[in-house]
Structures are given as C-alpha cells and as structure tokens.
Copies of this chain bind each other. A is one copy, B any other.
C-alpha cells in the first residue's frame, strides 16, 4: 500500500503519516524506489493513533504506549497509569467547564449598562481565582 492509499483509508493526510513516522510512532516501512510501501497492519496502527489522539492523548504519550506494545509488554500497568492520569485530566476539565458554564449563565442574566459591567465581573473575583487556579495546559 502506498502512503496516499493508506492516508485515504485512514482518513488523514499523507503528511500526517510521515509526521508520525518522524515522531517515532510509526515504524519506517519498506521502500520501493524510495517510496514507502505499507503492510496492512500499518492501517490499524494509524487508526489506533487517531483513536488515541481523539481521546486527548498527546503523541508523546501514545509513543510511550505503543513502544510498550511493540515489545509485547503486557498492557497492564503502563496503560493503566496513562489512562488514569488522562481520566483525572478529563474530570478536571469537566469540573472547570461546569464552573465556567454557570458563570457564563449568571453573567448572561446580568443587565448592567456600559462599564459598570466590569465592576460586577470583578465582584466575582473569588470565583475567578478558583477558575484561574484550575487552568489546565490545554483541553
């Protein structure tokens, strides 16, 4: 399978596949005349990577995980640790977003004119501070 075929099948760009290879998530495949030729297991590998990025794992984390798998290491502890950490991140994100939501709803019901608005906002500063302290890296 050429890279374009693999890309179309997996639903991403060929450049992404090359990027995964450069990042060490995908083993360099055989080549024919300089061009990459993939065996069919490459597809499931790529799909797994997409799946994991979709779940919010970073490429670095996925690489860790995949390298464990490549060694045929039992999935157990490695995966559990990564997933548990990610679960905590996701839960924090939910909590933060909930606070944000109620704050936004509250502010939407506050009909203050012009700059008085700011004053009202800043009265909420204890809440704000809690929010700011919760700020995550991303997502």
Contacts and interface: CB of A to CB of B under 8 A. Distances in A.
Interface of A: 44-45, 47-48, 50-51, 54-56, 69, 72-76, 79-80, 83-84, 86-87, 90-91, 93-94, 97-98, 100-101, 103-105, 107-108, 111-115, 117-119, 121-122, 124-125, 128, 131-132, 135, 138-139
A47 B114 contact: no
A100 B55 contact: yes
Chain multiplicity (copies)? 2
A91 B108 CA distance: 15
Nearest to A122: B47
B138 A69 contact: no
A51 B119 CA distance: 12
